[in-house]
Amino acid sequence: MKLRHLQYTILVVISCCVLSCKKEIKEHIPVTKNEHKVAIKHAVGFSITEFPDYTLLKVTGAFPESEDVYRYALVKEGTSLTTSSAENTESLANLLESKKINAIVKVPLQSVVVTSTTHIPSLEMLGVDHTLSGFPHLDYISSEQTRTRIDAGEIKELGQNEAMNTEVAIDLNPDAVIGFGVDGQNKSLNSLERAGIPVLYNGDWVEKSPLGKAEWIKFFGALYGKTKEADSIFSTIETAYLDTKKLAQNVTNRPTVLSGAMYKDIWYLPHGESWPAQLIKDAGADYLWKDTKGTGSIALNIESVLEKGQDAHYWIAPGQFNSYSKLAEANKVYAQFDAFKNKKTYTFTSKKGATGGLLYYELAPNRPDIVLKDLVYYLHPELLPDYQPYFYTPFED
């Protein structure tokens, strides 16, 4: 163990020397052009390039409308940085020299802190969930597998994402913290960086397409030396998704779909370029707000929604509601929609973790193939007669 720490200390010292001594870089770094770009087919927010001595993980979509590029050098313990390519503009030496590396990360990770529940499934699917040592607001986690470790005291509570208990996080001394942010400003993550802990941004939630979100498992695969495993897992998800999509695209009847519900007199529903809208389209249905531009939510008044959506055949994901009685109690206008009258309303809120977290928010972005099958089952039941829905269920009454 002491030897491993010594090797990594030497690694960091070498990197500092590279930063401070341009002449030495040119004299001692041999030229090599060997590199391999990991295939990223659907995600647009990150890339992975493997060099003989390190892997460059580049994140270009950390948060909406981000113009920043985050570069992370993933280096195996004991690797010498002096073997990097001097000719390639993205060689580690040149990136260090130009101060374009945001963090040097020792891989494979032995201990990690993640900050979004959407990160949990990737760790579990790759078989590395035992490395998770801390998480902000543990009650949000729904996975039974990870909750077992929480109950055993193996994962520390870190408070809230924007106000993380940095003292506890620093004491954990993880190999990396996987964060996310809406604008790149997070005081907690900045504090961890100043403490010398590598912080990496994960932008899975920014992706527009369902398969784009799911492909971020390759981000974690790179951190654990499991690139091939991540590619295999994603390929299985991709194939299942595309097969179901193909099945649904052959239908002649495309039912109309309404979504969302009111919050404080404002109706929020997905924009036409959002991943929920894409899922509805791929399920062989006609989302009534498909032509709106944007990937987030639209805020509308009840009158406009009633005018356009009153005759919709189905109502998918009506906010946090899970029964017709609760809908009618909240606002009598809800009862005027045909999907309400005809009992064609479906929710993902029925599946919760032991402490109240919604499994859909955690797992659905990673398994769009399951979500798509759920939707096809309800929208076109003749296509998947033997399928058992996982996320979506009919209202309780």
In order, the DSSP letters of 29-52 are -------EEPP-SS--SEEEEE-S
> Which two three-digit tokens encode residue 65?
């409308």
Same domain flag for 141 and 229? yes
What is the reported pLDDT for 217? Answer: 98
What is the reported pLDDT for 66? Answer: 82
Same domain flag for 74 and 210? yes
Contact 195, 113 (CB under 8 A): no
Task: Specify burial of residue 356 (Cβ count, 10 A radius: 0-12, 13-18, 19+).
Answer: exposed
Same domain flag for 169 and 258? no
pTM: 0.88
> Which two three-digit tokens encode residue 239?
């194939």
Instruction: Give domain status of residue 177, yes or no.
Output: yes
The residues near 232 (Cβ < 8 Å, ≥ 6 apart) are: none
What is the reported pLDDT for 78? Answer: 75
Q: Which of 361, 306, 364 is nearest to 338 (CA)?
A: 306
- Domain boundary (173, 203, 235) is at 235
Instruction: Give domain status of residue 240, yes or no.
Output: no
Same domain flag for 229 and 310? no
Can you give the CATH number for the domain in which 322 is found? 3.40.50.1980
Report d(CA 215, CA 47) in Å as an integer.
11
pLDDT tens digits, one per residue of 215-265: 999 999 999 999 999 999 999 999 999 999 999 998 999 999 999 999 999
What rounded mean pLDDT belongs to the chain? 89
Phi, then psi, of 98 in degrees rounded to 5: -90, 5
Same domain flag for 220 and 264? no
Same domain flag for 333 and 301? yes
Instruction: Give domain status of residue 245, yes or no.
Output: no
Same domain flag for 71 and 129? yes
What is the reported pLDDT for 92? Answer: 67
**Structural domain boundaries, residue 300:** 251-394
Same domain flag for 353 and 206? no
> What three-state secondary structure class fits 299?
strand
Instruction: Give domain status of residue 362, yes or no.
Output: yes
Same domain flag for 25 and 144? yes
Same domain flag for 215 and 257? no
Contact 96, 19 (CB under 8 A): yes
What is the reported pLDDT for 258? Answer: 98
Q: Would you give per-residue pLDDT tens digits along the chain (397 residues)? A: 433 343 444 343 334 433 333 333 333 333 345 789 999 999 999 999 999 889 999 999 998 888 899 999 999 977 766 544 445 556 666 777 667 899 999 999 999 999 999 999 999 999 999 999 999 999 999 999 999 999 999 999 999 877 899 999 999 999 999 998 767 678 899 999 999 999 999 999 999 999 999 999 999 999 999 999 999 999 999 999 999 999 999 899 999 999 999 999 999 999 999 999 999 999 999 999 999 998 889 999 999 999 999 999 999 999 999 999 999 999 999 999 999 999 999 999 999 999 999 999 999 999 999 999 999 999 999 999 999 999 999 998 8
Number of separate domains in the chain? 2
- Domain boundary (172, 200, 235) is at 235
